Amino acid sequence: METTIHPESIPDYTEPGELRILQLQRLRATVQRCYDHVALFRQRMDERGLKPADIQTLDDVAKLPFTQKTDLRDTYPYGLFAVPMKDVVRLHASSGTTGKPIVVGYTKDDLDVWSSVMLRSFVATGMHAGDVLQNAYGYGLFTGGLGAHYGAERLGATVIPISGGNTERQILVMKDFGVTALCCTPSYFIHLIEQVNAGGVRFEDLGVKIGIFGAEPWTEAMRQYIQRESGIKAFDIYGLSEIIGPGVGIECSEQNGLHIFEDHFLMEIVNPETDEVLPDGGEGELVITTLTKQAFPMIRYRTHDITSIIPEHCACGRTIRRIRRIRSRCDDMMIIRGVNLFPSQIEAALLSVEGTVPHYQILLTRKGGLDQIEVRVEVTQAMFSDRIREVESMQKKLAHAIEHVTGLRVPVRLVEPNAIARSEGKAKRVIDQRSKGEEIQ
């Protein structure tokens, strides 16, 4: 597919040397701004005897203190803002896992940068002015809806601000409004495909060509499933509220890694245990420093997302670097009988077996002081009504596929169609009942 070059996407083609000069200039300005306006950051710099002027090269970023999600909680709601509230024109929030949300703020310039990186993201997928985008990311405090909205408008696409949920209406709009591109979470898109098919319509007859999916981990196997079942081309988009929202990075027509908009976001990969910075290619935790954010700049933010930088140039011609799709969050890693296990491994294994639909949940319990795991997988109606023996053989096949990928024998239980709750946003794949006492099922 040929990539359309929109005038505003030109920075993707900056010479690498030029980019590094720009990054250093912006890094130094960001560090100075944080030092001057964010008490916690200044205190941490002072504790290390560091001054903003000590940042002389890009590698000096490693001297700076990390920022953690707990820092955002501890300074709730506005303690890390670097501008007075009169300059903050928008707030978003992401629901933390415990208690209070994380609050993030934007100046007018921040919103401008956000629209610009989202515009570039859409361009990378081959979208242009004239495309009709069904924006099924949630509007509201979640960054997905409004982030995609303004980027697509800026591109000149027609945006349908339908938000998440209300599947019947989503389908009606897809059928009647000439939709050519759609964005939502990959798990919700799978639900949409199923519901379209249930109404007797083939998804590929709808006219949707491009899907922009993110906000949760998904695998290459899931992409293949989506593309096969829907006939669209599916792109992975990455971002997080603390950095800007969606638009930190996106895949291009090569669909082989996500380009990070490095003129706005400086990336490092660190070993999550030792905090050591890894060379390009090493897998570890993505750490991001914002280079242009005004209201809510982030220095060395620990994303908890596991990936690696792809050292090779991309065939699409962009010189900004890529990361591999996010494998998992560090906190999603399960340790079962001493083996590290990621939900994405389970997903890839399940999708390698025909006859399942990619609705699954991983149930963690504790028995006799040991962590137990069970994988629940939905099967198609046809499969479910088959004889017990066939269900058993399917369970075995799935367990075998998981063992092949992970080296672990994991019990698999087939459940009836629709037994696993559908999400309109981020899917909940892991149900952790380990803290609820023993043997609760």
Are β-strands 430-432 and 356-367 bridged in parallel, bridged antiparallel, or unpaired?
A: parallel
Q: What does the block give as tokens for 208? A: 């949707």
Cβ distance to ligand DLL smaller for residue 71 or 379? 71
Cβ distance to ligand DLL smaller for residue 211 or 246? 246
CB of 380 to ligand DLL, least distance (A): 27
**185 closest CA partner among 144, 126, 243, 129:** 144
CB 193 within 8 A of CB 230: yes
Rounded to 10 deg, the angle between the 220-230 and 186-198 helix axes is 30
- Cα distances (angstroms) measured from residue 192 to each of 283, 360, 390: 33, 16, 28
**334 closest CA partner among 374, 278, 303, 283:** 374
Q: Is the dihedral of CA 308, 311, 313, 318 positive or negative?
A: positive
CB of 255 to ligand DLL, least distance (A): 13
CB of 287 to ligand DLL, least distance (A): 12
Cβ distance to ligand DLL smaller for residue 194 or 332? 332
Contact residues for ligand DLL, defined by CB under 6 A: 94, 137, 143-144, 214-217, 236-241, 245-246, 303, 305, 326, 329
Are β-strands 181-184 and 132-135 bridged in parallel, bridged antiparallel, or unpaired?
A: parallel
CB of 216 to ligand DLL, least distance (A): 5
- The three-state DSSP-derived secondary structure of 325-378 is CCCEEHHHCEEECCEEECHHHHHHHHHCCCCEEEEEEEEEEEECCEEEEEEEEE
Cβ distance to ligand DLL smaller for residue 222 or 375? 222
CB 291 within 8 A of CB 117: no
Cβ distance to ligand DLL smaller for residue 68 or 418? 68
Cβ distance to ligand DLL smaller for residue 241 or 365? 241
Cβ distance to ligand DLL smaller for residue 75 or 395? 75
CB of 225 to ligand DLL, least distance (A): 16
Tell me the C-alpha distance between 16 and 294, whole Å: 24
Element (H, E) at 265: strand 265-270
DSSP 8-state code for residue 2: P
Cβ distance to ligand DLL smaller for residue 210 or 326? 326
CB of 301 to ligand DLL, least distance (A): 10
Cβ distance to ligand DLL smaller for residue 237 or 341? 237
Residues sharing a CB contact under 8 Å with residue 200, sequence separation 6 or more, in sequence order? none
**Residue 247 — φ and ψ, nearest 5°?**
105, 10
Residues sharing a CB contact under 8 Å with residue 278, sequence separation 6 or more, in sequence order? 269, 270, 271, 284, 308
CB of 293 to ligand DLL, least distance (A): 15
CB of 423 to ligand DLL, least distance (A): 13
Q: What does the block give as tokens for 361? A: 């949940």
Q: Which amino acid is at 291?
A: L
CB 160 within 8 A of CB 133: yes
CB of 215 to ligand DLL, least distance (A): 3
DSSP 8-state code for residue 213: E
Cβ distance to ligand DLL smaller for residue 287 or 414? 287
Half-sphere exposure of 316 (CA within 13 A, CB side): 26
User: For residue 246, is the peptide bond before it cis, meaning its omega torsion is within 30 degrees of 0?
Assistant: no
CB of 207 to ligand DLL, least distance (A): 23
CB of 110 to ligand DLL, least distance (A): 15
Cβ distance to ligand DLL smaller for residue 219 or 372? 219
